[in-house]
């Protein structure tokens, strides 16, 4: 009887051991499969010349809007930046150039769920244009093949608020900042308000932010015959937009 019990316990132990080993193998295989699926979703490529050439300006804006949805929903694309960095050494073929404010709270590439080589980014407080910025845009479009120019303002813009409140930058010894503020003033002057014309009036401030981005687009067309002609021919689009820092959403304006 003892021998029978011992043999039975031995068999049960062996079966349990085999079962555990099989379970471990199954779990390991499952983990490996999941890892493979994750690795398959990680983007390692960069935009090619062929892909850039095949996209229309309208299609690019559509993709940027979808990318912004990903950002808003915290569903950013996983990227292998090491692989992308190495491939980008061969050349760059960005689909757009974005002029943004210098504000550190506006992470342009993340806002559109983009990675290395996807877009050019120019920054200046208040997202205004100047000769260097427009020259960079001409390079991006006429030379490097980008098909969309976006001037993106953002809510709670300090440069716009300072302009609205008539901050005297010269009195503070900042002559260059005073010149920059003067570039934003026309957007303030042309904006109507039902309430106080101060930065405490959010509705007024946000309208100025929108109008300032639109004015920059208008100015770009005026100072760059090259880009204006490209837009007339349908080769590029020049648009304005506003980034909402609270929601993360980018709203494209009708210029």
What confidence score (pLDDT) does residue 180 get?
A: 97
Residue 10: what pLDDT? 64
Do 53 and 33 fall into the same domain? no
Are 68 and 194 in the same domain? yes
The total of structural domains in the chain comes to 2
Q: Which CATH number does the domain housing residue 173 bear?
A: 3.40.1050.10
Q: Do 126 and 248 sit in the same domain of this protein?
A: yes
**pLDDT of the residue at 254:** 80
- Tell me: do 204 and 115 sit in the same domain: yes
What is d(CA 130, CA 220) in angstroms, rounded to the nearest whole number? 9
Residues 54 and 114 occupy one common structural domain: yes
Alpha helices in the chain (DSSP H): 2-41, 49-54, 57-72, 81-88, 108-111, 131-138, 158-164, 175-189, 202-223, 225-232
Q: Does the predicted TM-score (pTM) go above 0.85? A: no
Mean pLDDT by 10 residues, the chain (255 residues): 59 59 61 46 90 96 98 96 88 96 97 96 98 98 98 98 97 97 98 93 97 98 98 98 98 87
Give DSSP secondary structure letters for 182-193: HHHHHHHHT---
Asked if 239 and 151 count as a contact pair (C-beta separation under 8 A), the reply is: yes
Structure tokens of 91?
Answer: 């050349």
Q: Are residues 131 and 231 in the same domain?
A: yes
Enclosing domain of residue 146: 49-252
Q: Are residues 16 and 53 in the same domain?
A: no
At residue 37, the pLDDT reads 40
């Amino acid at each position: 009887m003892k021998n029978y019990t011992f043999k039975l316990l031995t068999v049960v132990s062996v079966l349990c051991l085999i079962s555990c080993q099989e379970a471990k193998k199954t779990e390991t295989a499952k983990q490996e499969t999941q890892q493979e699926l994750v690795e398959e979703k990680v983007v390692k490529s960069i935009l090619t010349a062929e892909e850039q050439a095949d996209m229309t300006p309208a299609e690019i804006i559509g993709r940027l809007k979808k990318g912004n949805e990903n950002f808003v929903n915290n569903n950013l694309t996983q990227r292998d930046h090491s692989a992308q960095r190495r491939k980008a050494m061969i050349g760059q073929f960005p689909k757009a150039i974005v002029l943004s404010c210098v504000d550190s709270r506006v992470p342009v590439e993340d806002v559109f769920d983009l990675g290395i080589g996807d877009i050019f980014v120019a920054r200046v407080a208040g997202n205004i244009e100047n000769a260097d910025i427009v020259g960079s845009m001409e390079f991006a479009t006429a030379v490097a093949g980008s098909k969309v120019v976006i001037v993106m303002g953002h809510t709670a813009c300090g440069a716009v608020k300072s302009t609205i409140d008539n901050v005297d930058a010269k009195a503070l010894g900042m002559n260059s900042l005073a010149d920059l503020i003067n570039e934003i003033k026309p957007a303030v002057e042309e904006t109507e308000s039902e309430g106080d014309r101060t930065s405490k009036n959010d509705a007024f401030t946000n309208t100025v932010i929108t109008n300032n981005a639109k004015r920059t687009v208008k100015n770009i067309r005026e100072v760059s015959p090259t880009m204006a002609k490209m837009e007339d021919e349908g080769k590029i689009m020049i648009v304005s937009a506003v980034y909402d820092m609270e929601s993360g959403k980018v709203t494209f304006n009708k210029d």
